[in-house]
Amino acid sequence: MGCNTGIAEDVTELIGNTPMVYLNKIVDGCVARIAVKLETMEPCSSVKDRIALNMIKDAEEKGLITPWEVLVEGTSGNTGIGLAFVAATRGYKLIIVMSSSYSMERRIVMRAFGAELRITDSAKGIIAVFQKVDEIVKSTPNGYSLKQFENPANPKVYGVEPTESAVLSGGKPGKHKIQGIGAGIVPDALDVSILDEVVTISSEEAIETARLLSLKEGLLVEFSSGAAAAAAIRIAKRPEYAGKLVVVVFPSFVGRYLSTVLFDSLRNEVENLAIEYDTHYETTGPEIWNGCKGNDAFISGIGTGGTVYGVEPTESAVLSGGKPGKHKIQGIGAGFVPDALDVSILDEVVTISSDEAIETARLLSLKEGLLVGFSSGAAAAAAIRIAKRPEYAGKLIVVVFPSFVGRYLSTVLFDSLRNEVENLAIEYDVDHNMRL
């Protein structure tokens, strides 16, 4: 049981209460101020974390599902990721159906949480996803679909749609690049009567605005956030909004879009970079102390030395008197003792192998719904090892997970999942197979 002040019992308790920030640098010509709700700060970096938890809790409270049920859901990605991490924490088996057009990062993240993936032909659109969901539910004992597009527990209202697929504006479904919106249908869960206006934004404008948000505002966002910001800027320039406040939601973090067209030029650039050879004291520490009113042990990894670190790779255990060596735990184990590290404050240095760090990181996603990187896996492994010691019975150990996993999806940590999702077969309908 956690402390009664500041420590969540599980990761789903961290959903909500995300911060807001003003846009300042890309709002030239605006007469209204624009404030952004950063849903990118949710535990799984998406507004859909709220929706996923709400739909599952609602179904549980109505007696529609228990962990014996197999949840089946069609998604473009973010709702599936939200459902996958909530399902991991609550013990549900989850089958996700998605179109072949969506990014590999999304597939990897969902599989990391233990979800099963089924892929449909993108040429068949969202209807193929719905049909596959129905097929799986009918053929799966205890199968149950939350039906996010019809579910009243999914209350988010979108007023922005792609120019190329402007169905709310009376147009026809069409192909576009703004992943996360523009499914080509009007969801049953959307009450269109509450929309004062629907703004259409082209894929190119969404992408350009997303790029400007990172360059000018320091906000690393994806397609749908770029589209929302572009719409907000357009409205904020109208004379009737002078002196008013426009609030816009940025629904998800950019990590699951790094393989998309949004980052083509940057990806090509960093893949070809040549190799060039030859605060926590005032913030993190007090936050931890105040959050749990003290603790009995504190554990973190050894990186730059700016924090009190006590974990290092077995293969490069310089603090333990060993020699520098190659290892896989990115973020710690630089092979030297940083000048900024006061080793006198360390009660112990725990060595963790690369394999143990990787395996612990994988278990954290599958069992705890916490998608983390190498160094977090190492820190958790060290915490678990210490927590098993008899002298720590009944005590509290605090461990720092320093970074989100989005920047590690191309590493060895996800090799097996990446190979699996890249080779998932597209599941065609029966008529298609007969024509073949």
What Cα–Cα distance (Å) separates residue 422 from each residue in 63, 182, 343, 363? 37, 24, 45, 22
Annotated active-site residue in 48, 132, 147, 177: 48
Q: The tokens 């399902």 sit on which residue?
A: 87
165 flagged as catalytic: no
Give φ, ψ of 113 to 5 degrees: -85, 0
**Burial class (CB within 10 angstroms; exposed 0-12, middle 13-18, buried 19+) of 21:** middle
225 flagged as catalytic: no
Q: Cα(174)–Cα(252) distance, rounded to whole angstroms?
A: 23
**In 91-124, which ranges are continuous DSSP H helix?**
104-112
**Burial class (CB within 10 angstroms; exposed 0-12, middle 13-18, buried 19+) of 381:** buried
Annotated active-site residue in 76, 103, 145, 224: 224
Q: In terms of DSSP bridges, do strands 33-38 and 20-22 run parallel, antiparallel, or are they unpaired? A: antiparallel
What are the structure tokens assigned to 389, written together?
Answer: 């010691």
Nearest CA-CA partner of 71 in 60, 424, 188, 423: 60
DSSP 8-state class, residue 1:
-
Q: Using an 8 Å Cβ cutoff, are 1 and 208 in contact?
A: no
Nearest-10 Cα torsion for 20, 21, 26, 32: 80
Nearest CA-CA partner of 80 in 59, 65, 94: 94
Nearest-10 Cα torsion for 305, 310, 315, 321: 80
Q: The tokens 């009944």 sit on which residue?
A: 394
Q: The tokens 């523009």 sit on which residue?
A: 182
Task: Give the residue numbers annotated as catalytic, written as ranges.
Answer: 48, 224
